[in-house]
Structure formats: C-alpha cells, structure tokens
Amino acid sequence: KKSEAWSALFSEPMSDLVKRYTASVFFDKRLWKADIQGSLAHAEMLAAQGVISQDDWAAIQRGMAQIREEIESGRFDWKLDLEDVHLNIEARLTQLVGDAGKRLHTGRSRNDQVATDVRLWLREEIDLIDGLLGDLQKALLDLAERHAEVILPGFTHLQVAQPVSFGHHMLAYVEMFARDAERMRDVRKRVNRLPLGAAALAGTSYPLDRERVARTLGMEGICQNSLDAVSDRDFAIEFTAAASLAMVHVSRLSEELILWMSQSFGFIDIADRFCTGSSIMPQKKNPDVPELARGKTGRVVGHLMGLITLMKGQPLAYNKDNQEDKEPLFDTVDTLKDTLRIFAEMVGGITVKPEAMERAALKGYATATDLADYLVKKGLPFRDAHEVVAHAVKDAIARGVDLAELPLATLQGYSAAIEDDVYQVLSLRGSLQARDILGGTAPAQVRAQIARHRARLAG
C-alpha cells in the first residue's frame, strides 16, 4: 500500500514532509475529467486488442462512471497519501471493481498518462479562450461602431500626432485579439497529439493500437517518439507564450483606459460596477479592473519564464520537475479567462466623451501633416512643405492659437500656394476624411473594417 511504502523494495515509508513535498493531488485533481477520459480510451483499446477481457472493460466503465459521480458531487475522498490525481483515481477504481482496476495500467505509465491528461485538459481550455477572445472582439466592435465618427487625438511618443477615429483606435485592439485567437488555434494543433503508448519512456511490448486511442480522444496525431512524448512540455510553454501576448494586449488597452479616465484626459468613464472607491478620499473612483489586469499580466509573463526555465536543464526523458508545470499553467488559464471575461463586459460599460477628445485633438497641431500634404498637392516638394509648416506652427504656438485660427494672409506669408480652401484641410474632420486608404482612419474605412471583422467572427 502506498500509504506505507511504494513497494516491497522500500524498507521504510516516506516521511510526511517528503509526502507533502512530492504530492500534487491538491492541484492536479482538476485534471480528473481528462484522466478518466484518457483511461477509458486506453481501456477500450486494451479490450479491443485482447490485452484485457471484455468483462474487465465493462467493469472499468462501471467503476469510472461511479468515480465521476463521486467527484462531481464532491464525495470523492482525495488522499494525499496517493500522491496525485492518477493514483487516487486508479486506487478508487480498484476498490470498486477489483482486479479489472489493477489491469487498467497495463502498457501505460503515469508519464504518458499525465502528458495526455494535460493535453486533453488544455485543448478544452484553449477552445474556451478562443471563444472569450471572440466575445471581447465583438464588444470592441460594438464600441468602435458606435464611435466611428468620434475624433481622438492619435499619439506617438504620447505627444499629439494626428487625429484618428475612436473606432479606428478600438479596431487596433480587435486586430491584436484576432491574432491572439489565431495563435491559440495554432498552438492547439500541437497540443492535440497523443503521448499514450509511450509508456514510461521507451514504448511498450503490449500490442497497443495508438491510432485507435488517438481517434477515440479526437486527437489529430500521435507523438512519434516515446522519449519526446513523455518529457517535453513545449506545448504548455507555447500556450503560455500565446497567453502572455494576449495579456500584454489587454495590458496596453488597460493602460490607455486608465489614462483616459484620469481627470487630465477625461476622455472616458468606466461604469461604476467596474470601479472602486477610496476609504479616505470621498471623491475617488478608481479604475481597479484595468489596473489589476495590467498587474496580472506580470504574473502570466512570470509563468512563461517559470515554465521555460523548468524545461531548460532536463535530460531525456521524464523527470519529476515536470510536475511543476501544472500550477503555472492552471493559473495562466484562470487569469487569462477571468480577464477576458471581465473585459468583454467592461468594454460595454465604457462611456466615450467626444467633446473632451476633440478638444484635446485641437491642442497639439494635429493637422500639421495635412497642411504639408496640401502644399505638396499644390506642387511643393514634401521636404519644403514640411519646413513651411514648421514655421507656421512655430508662429501659431507663439500666438497661442491653432493653425486653423491663423488668418489667410498670415498663412500666405509662409507660402503663396496657400488659398482659401486650406481651412477645410486644417479641420480635424477633413484630416480624418482624407486618410481614406485601406487600413486608414477615415470613417468609411473604419466601417468597412468593422464589417470585415464581423463576417470573420460570424464565419
């Protein structure tokens, strides 16, 4: 019995400290569903191959059905003494169905078992995350559509650069989250391969049908080398890398929401249900959700570093180090899912303040490029036009006015090519309208992009 010593080979039981140190059941029990699923696929194949009897297979199914029921109802007695989810379930199975339970592990090791379980579990989580990324994109598209015509100062170096449509700005995030979803789907292909059959490290002498197990489990392929199958966790690492990027994108959005909600910007409000107050300052309403998301990004990126470092010194094949893959992976999934869920909701609770955005866009000579482009159209080389406009801006700064507020005669002092029609060009709306190029900020382009994204997400 495991609670005593591992086997007849051992002369003394494990110390309690070591038991606790090596046990993983308290976190890996969340793999239970995948563990049962993998065991059933393995047992079905063992019976089909004649390695175990049909009666054994029937008994295993019966036992597993009861175990499933016990776990779901919270009555399953998880034992630290039984180390991990795999041994807990197998021991209970044997309790329930006797020798058939003891035959389940034929041709299998916990090494190929755990690698299979983690892959099955992660595959399902990836599908959920893909859906949540879709929900967030849809929420951003709704926000973009409602505010396609709203003018926001576009920044580079956080200095006012050129006016952009608020909708266009939101669409930038839709692109990022669309790529995150694409990466998830790509990682899924490599997650969805079968380690079972690799056994401990070298394969097995039983006539296992690995293809059959892969088909039963809906896997797209089989890990072709037994040593690699049980030992590499690159699939978990690349998932965590994709998750880190998704969190980084959320974090960039968070940073903008936090800035925009601060009094110095005053561009947006976030619905009260996503904010918190202060215990001392009665006037405070703080954007805690985006701040926490920005903070939690560090945590997920930390898990990526943890997992990749876990792998780097391991010789082939399985090493117990790999048990340490679970907590960072689980926490990455939990953190990403919670964050995406809450953001999809919060984005719907953003109030845009168009006047404040427009006022800010009027401040930093955001249409200076438009004046230069105007001069180019009148025949000046771009570099000369650039210089002419720099003089005009310098003058406007000295007078404390916008370019559009300079009298025509003054503007004509910088270039004789300037005519009455310049004022249309200097307006924020004119500037936006002019960038009517694929991927540009003209409201017509923004609308076309929204339609494209909606079709993609529906398809």
Enclosing H/E stretch for 155: strand 151-156
The amino acid present at 204, given as its one-letter code, is T
Tell me how far, at minimum, the Cβ of 5 lies from ligand ARG, in Å.
15
According to DSSP, the residues that pair with 280 across neighbouring strands are none
Q: What angle do CA 28, 33, 38 make, to 5 degrees?
A: 100
d(CA 8, CA 305): 40
- Candidates 139-147, 250-258, 278-286, 315-323; binding stretch for ligand ARG (CB under 6 A): 315-323
Tell me how far, at minimum, the Cβ of 42 lies from ligand ARG, in Å.
15
Q: Which is nearer to ligand ARG, 251 or 322 (CB)?
A: 322
Which residue of 204, 322, 332, 335 would you call a contact of ligand ARG, by CB under 6 A? 322
The residues, ordered by sequence, that sit 6+ positions from 265 with a Cβ below 8 Å of its Cβ are 259, 356, 360
d(CA 133, CA 63): 38
Tell me how far, at minimum, the Cβ of 169 lies from ligand ARG, in Å.
44
The amino acid present at 325, given as its one-letter code, is D
Residue 270: what are its φ and ψ, rounded to 5°? -110, 135
From residue 361, give the alpha-carbon distance in Å to each of 151, 161, 165, 241. Answer: 7, 9, 11, 36
Q: Which is nearer to ligand ARG, 25 or 457 (CB)?
A: 25
Retrieve residue 398's tokens. 């000295």
Q: Which is nearer to ligand ARG, 331 or 370 (CB)?
A: 331
- Candidates 109-117, 141-149, 182-190, 191-199; binding stretch for ligand ARG (CB under 6 A): 109-117
Q: Is 84 in the site for ligand ARG (CB under 6 A)?
A: yes
Q: Is 111 in the site for ligand ARG (CB under 6 A)?
A: yes
What is the b/e burial string over 350-380, where b = at least 16 CB atoms within 10 angstroms of the residue's CB? bebeeeebbebbbebbbbbbbbbbbbbeeeb
- Candidates 144-152, 173-181, 207-215, 314-322; binding stretch for ligand ARG (CB under 6 A): 314-322
Q: Which is nearer to ligand ARG, 84 or 232 (CB)?
A: 84
d(CA 79, CA 389): 76
Enclosing H/E stretch for 153: strand 151-156
Which residue of 110, 193, 296, 453 would you call a contact of ligand ARG, by CB under 6 A? 110
The residues, ordered by sequence, that sit 6+ positions from 314 with a Cβ below 8 Å of its Cβ are 231, 321, 322
Locate all alpha helices (DSSP H) within 400-442, ordered by sequence.
Answer: 408-414, 422-426, 428-434
Tell me how far, at minimum, the Cβ of 337 lies from ligand ARG, in Å.
22
Decide if 278 is catalytic.
yes
What is the b/e burial string over 13-32, where b = at least 16 CB atoms within 10 angstroms of the residue's CB? ebeeeeeeeebbbeebbebb
Q: Which is nearer to ligand ARG, 28 or 331 (CB)?
A: 28
Tell me how far, at minimum, the Cβ of 319 lies from ligand ARG, in Å.
9
Tell me how far, at minimum, the Cβ of 89 lies from ligand ARG, in Å.
12
**Which of the following is catalytic: 157, 205, 264, 279?**
157
**Binding-residue total with ligand ARG (CB under 6 A):** 10
Tell me how far, at minimum, the Cβ of 324 lies from ligand ARG, in Å.
8
- Candidates 7-15, 34-42, 278-286, 320-328; binding stretch for ligand ARG (CB under 6 A): 320-328
Q: Which is nearer to ligand ARG, 200 or 376 (CB)?
A: 200
d(CA 178, CA 184): 10
Enclosing H/E stretch for 191: helix 166-191
- Candidates 174-182, 217-225, 316-324, 438-446; binding stretch for ligand ARG (CB under 6 A): 316-324
Q: Which is nearer to ligand ARG, 231 or 431 (CB)?
A: 231
Q: Which is nearer to ligand ARG, 31 or 133 (CB)?
A: 31
What x-and-dash track marks residues 36-75 binding ligand ARG by CB under 6 A?
Answer: ----------------------------------------
What is the b/e burial string over 225-249, where b = at least 16 CB atoms within 10 angstroms of the residue's CB? ebebbbbbbebbbbbbbbbbbbbbb
What is the b/e burial string over 116-145, where b = at least 16 CB atoms within 10 angstroms of the residue's CB? bbbbbbbbebbeebeebbbbbbbbbbebbb
Q: Is 90 in the site for ligand ARG (CB under 6 A)?
A: no
Q: Is 323 in the site for ligand ARG (CB under 6 A)?
A: yes
Tell me how far, at minimum, the Cβ of 114 lies from ligand ARG, in Å.
4
Which residue of 75, 320, 379, 398 would you call a contact of ligand ARG, by CB under 6 A? 320
Decide if 279 is catalytic.
no
Q: Is 114 in the site for ligand ARG (CB under 6 A)?
A: yes
Place of tokens 């404390």: 400
- Candidates 97-105, 106-114, 205-213, 368-376; binding stretch for ligand ARG (CB under 6 A): 106-114
**Which of the following is catalytic: 3, 53, 262, 278?**
278
Q: Which is nearer to ligand ARG, 183 or 193 (CB)?
A: 193
Q: Is 24 in the site for ligand ARG (CB under 6 A)?
A: yes
According to DSSP, the residues that pair with 350 across neighbouring strands are 270
Q: Give the catalytic positions in this structure.
A: 157, 278
The residues that touch ligand ARG, with contacts defined as CB under 6 A, are 24, 28, 84, 110-111, 114, 318, 320, 322-323
